[in-house]
Chain A
Amino acid sequence: AIRMTQSPSSLSASTGDRVTITCRASQGISSYLAWYQQKPGKAPKLLIYAASTLQSGVPSRFSGSGSGTDFTLTISCLQSEDFATYYCQQYYSYPQWTFGQGTKVEIK
């Protein structure tokens, strides 16, 4: 099974900061990677798919990059509503999907 490892597990940042989260796959997954945002008590929300394609309605301050085994999610200018937990997910190894362990973005 493909393992997804995110780093860091948590981070503290201030509004206006640039934030980068990394996701590494245990083997190559091309660009079959999605990023989700989850706020406490809520369902996950799709932010990015195909490693770098922004889901409709998602603010442009979110961006994704990478291919193969190494991927990043960047929030260019952190807003108050962005404090949440972020998960990467690979969908390369159909029919098995795996998520990273999550990165919690907290207020400094």
Chain B
Amino acid sequence: QVQLVESGGGVVQPGGSLRLSCAASGFTFSSYGMHWVRQAPGKGLEWVAFIRYDGSNKYYADSVKGRFTISRDNSKNTLYLQMNSLRAEDTAVYYCAKDSRRDDYGDYHDYWGQGTLVTVSS
């Protein structure tokens, strides 16, 4: 069965950096695009970033563009999110999510990890 397990969350000071990881199993990771979605405490869902199955294209929400970098290592079945210049408003649970489309553009998210909490605070 599909499993997505995030790690790397924690407490970081404003202006700091953090790298999140998402270990995938149960499907052919190298064939599917992947997303990061976040949820601030008590708030709704916000799409953050998408990377195509082969890493050839990456897309970001305006709120994180220029500060966050999504990447993947298909040999390790792992997705990453490098977060720099962190702000208080980046405090959220970060979920990785598998895209439903194989070898193609992005679509809806059919599987989600359990999330990892990032807290930006001094």
Question: Which A residues fall within an 8 A CB radius of B?
Answer: 34, 36, 38, 42-46, 49, 55, 87, 89, 91, 94-102
Contact = CB atoms under 8 A, between A and B. Distances in A.
A98 B47 contact: yes
Interface of B: 35, 37, 44-47, 50, 57, 59, 61, 95, 100, 105-115
Given A87-B44, A102-B45, A97 B106 contact: yes
Secondary structure at chain A's binding surface: helix, strand, loop or mixed? loop
B112 A44 contact: yes
A44 to B, nearest CB: 6
A14 B60 CA distance: 40
- Main secondary structure on B side of the interface with A: strand
A100 B37 CA distance: 13
18 contacts: A34-B109, A36-B109, A38-B45, A44-B37, A44-B112, A46-B111, A49-B110, A87-B44, A89-B45, A89-B108, A94-B106, A95-B50, A95-B105, A96-B59, A96-B61, A98-B47, A99-B46, A102-B45
